[in-house]
Structure 1
């Protein structure tokens, strides 16, 4: 049965479970697609549909842009056991002719949300010139890079330290113990800088906190030099100090409560896992080293900062439930609620798992959904992000920033986002400078 663009919009506004699946390869997908579309090409259906679309009777709405991909993909999904496979009437052109908003690039819901957070909260930021001047004067500054560690190693702000997004609150007090030390959070562009900085503001960190405006793109456009091959990082598998962890845990859990994320135990998780009427995603949000050393058997791996950055990958069914875990060690109870507080603001039905002992984390090794490796997109079919690598043309970097600046207006025109930005911020958690051991 065909679904019209209006049918899709109605389902999104009603928060019913739906996956709007774009069957094109990543590059054409990145040129134009609806806000909540997820990219899943026919070559990846059999490998990726089972973990991205785990409930076989969820409504799937397939489309292309006239390439003739829908019929074969629908047949493949039917053979895999999916029972509610629909076609988008008129494909992408039908969406366009109905007046539906079209977005460029990838991970658009997350990037648009980051722009909305800055728009509504006035997330503090500093331009590259101001940060470089602070470094030139020899001022004590904590530059914290919120990207994945491999991205940090490719290129980084001079003197920066790798602290991926979900780790920021856990480690910031140890990395900048003097409350007078400015904290600068950066990524390659804008989203993870903004979300990372606002995370620390929301948590009431006493230090002055700023995002590096426009990230490493802004740094390069200002004519400054990046470092390469650096390995400075917060301990990937812990530990933060006990005092820093306690303060971070208190702040993160209070924020999760305020945002409307649920706190659940193992019994509630088991009930949700047995519920055939809802899609359930279970993600461990720690860094790879911690996850591989021991995790809950039912949980895949999605480091918290990347989960917020790539919700369209890790939660392809809009309206699904998401449960987050962050181990059973001494530093548990920070990353999961902090990540949940962002997902709740993005309109997700999200909970974090509490009270599960370390002994229950019996699975080891990297995440392999359904026994398969997570395969990268073939290079020839992949969309080249303007902010990745070290050789992107300056014009492409500036065009990317200009596009991001327009996302808030696009969200307003589209009207299906369901975002609500948490207002106000927490009081600073009690903190004293740690004494030497």
Structure 2
């Protein structure tokens, strides 16, 4: 019997049915579309078995599957290395075309290239689309075609280009959902994927918080966070809808979305930043990298309330307030002289919104070794930050219940740490 010709739409960082570019184009193809998600063991094998992000992906896919079931379709879930999964798919189905949205991280670029080569060997066409960003790769460049390495001119060019095409086109996929393949694929449980349910949950996003974002963003005790970042990371919200909305509501919030794309294009243009300083002149810094100091930072027992509250919030919830992130990162790199890569790796395990480009970009910003970074001689004073942004101690008491019982002394004196950091950086900067 001749197999039915099908197209496949491959979900990755776009876990939604609404305003999904690659899906929109897949549903315009002449063949019924099988929606696919692959739990990639090359990624899963490095994660703890109760990783909350895997649980969130599974939960998001379950919601998609429920919607598809209502129209007689279902999502195909596979587990394994992507190359082996695709080899089996080309044998199992008569695939005519494959559609997916682009990913710009080094691992993803290499993975997708391998799948495109495999598809070509099987006489299958591959189509990829821009979906998780407004402007990708080389769309925002200087007049000479080189990438921006300073945020402000990048932002100005970004806004100029956005205004020339605003409002952004949104892709009305919901009108075409009946073009999905009629199916009833088994939906793998979390246990079948090899994971356990986590006590940590991704909080639903709240766009109503954005309107006064510029007034409240620096105060961790005011729970004014939109909680959008994990949803942006895994694509349960559309960046086009969000930007069109943010442009009307809050310029400061829009700037944060532009920072996200700035770091993405830095990673794409300078992939070395994953493992090396953007500013190679800082390669000579002699980090102390003391294991015991790192443990106290990780566990929130440094004796600096703002630092400790932030780390305890991260460990307990997978979230950390943006202002607090700057304080804890500066403390690790400047006060303790621990390489930013140690902090970046720890955040990569703990953050629900972990995104390689933003994580590397922000850690190098804090360490002073990245593009458009905080200068090396800027050393946050955690006590002053506490007085400015949590004057009544509401945030720190939430995460440090023992605070009023006589809190621990700081593990290092600020003035000493600041002087040591500046001297170490001066000595380490390569001329």
| The two structures share one fold, judged by TM-score above 0.5 | no
Q: Larger helix proportion, structure 1 or 2?
A: 2
Q: Larger strand proportion, structure 1 or 2?
A: 1
Give the TM-score range, shorter chain: under 0.3
Question: TM-score with structure 1 length normalisation?
Answer: 0.28
Query: Which one has the largest radius of gyration?
Result: 2
